[in-house]
Amino acid sequence: MRLIGVAVMGLLFFAQFQAHAAEEAAHPEPLNLRGTYQVYFGGVPMAKVWMAIEEKPETYQFTSAIKSKGIVRMFKRVKSINTSNGIRAASGWQTLRMSIKSEYSDGVKETRLIYGEDGELTERSLSEDDDPAYRPPVDKALVRAVPTYGNAFFVLRDLIYQSVQRGEKTFKTDVYDAKRLTRVTGVVDGEQNYQIKGAYTPVYRIRFSRELIAGFTEKEKKRYAEGEPPLYLYVSRNNFMPIALEIQFAFGSIKAYWEEEKADLKKPAN
């Protein structure tokens, strides 16, 4: 299921008028939608990631649910739910609360992070925390105002939008998952028309790589040193919604495609 983690692996200004204009230009239009990423490995269904995104100019609510499927489910049954809310702060999008509950064949694991509006981490709770001798704890000061799995979607979307607007190619951000601190580098790798089920969408292709900062075990560091393939994210040029993801390994590829839920057009019963 590390592949899902890799896959399901991802988005600040003179006079009062000028500052207001810069702020408006720094963010894409808010998204309010629901849908599912269908994840495949070598063309075989692997997992699905359902997401509900409720974004306002100053607040967000994020929910995602990951479920293994197909042949993967025969070997590793996983169901994970991530709920998060937060605000737009001076540092950008700031998580206030994030909760992840993961159900495995052999038990349940839960993670909770609570932040103050100033970005200070006030609570970190894991049902099964690692031995510090095995996994060095991340210094609390390093994760102040750092994106989590709760707000990374919104942060990366902003960063991609800002890079495109400014004509810049590269951006960076750290991401904290309650155990590990990772530095993510994104590169705007060009424009193209991306095909999903016969329909083409104009997209920006974003190439992602990562750097290990803190909280990694010796085994994880060794695996990272062996090299990792880049992750490619395809973002709609219309609304900056990620519509596809690809990772190419020597033994196959992971691909994920977004399917938005359509609004129910049925008339309410009288």
CA nearest neighbour of 178 among 103, 134, 123: 123
Compute the distance between CA of residue 30 and CA of residue 25 in angstroms, rounded to an integer: 12
Compute the distance between CA of residue 24 and CA of residue 64 in angstroms, rounded to an integer: 27
CA angle at 127 for the pair 122 and 131, rounded to the nearest 5°: 90
What pLDDT shows up at residue 147?
A: 97
Q: For strand 121-126 and strand 32-41, is the pairing parallel, antiparallel, or unpaired?
A: unpaired
Q: Which amino acid is at 142?
A: L
Compute the distance between CA of residue 181 and CA of residue 151 in angstroms, rounded to an integer: 15
The owner of tokens 């105002």 is 145
- The CATH architecture assigned to 2-16+30-260 reads Beta Barrel (2.40)
Compute the distance between CA of residue 215 and CA of residue 168 in angstroms, rounded to an integer: 31
CA nearest neighbour of 26 among 88, 119, 115, 95: 88
What pLDDT shows up at residue 107?
A: 84
What pLDDT shows up at residue 189?
A: 96
pLDDT tens, per residue, the chain with 270 residues = 444 444 444 332 222 323 333 344 589 999 999 999 999 998 999 899 999 999 999 999 999 999 987 655 444 567 899 999 999 998 899 999 999 999 887 789 999 999 999 999 999 999 999 999 999 999 999 999 999 999 999 999 999 999 999 999 999 999 999 999 999 999 999 999 999 999 999 999 999 999 999 999 999 999 999 999 999 999 999 999 999 999 999 888 999 999 999 865 444 444
**Secondary structure of the chain: what % helix, strand, coil (to 5)?**
20, 50, 30
3-state secondary structure of 156: helix
The secondary structure element, H or E, covering residue 269 is none
User: Are the CB atoms for 231 and 9 separated by under 8 Å?
Assistant: yes
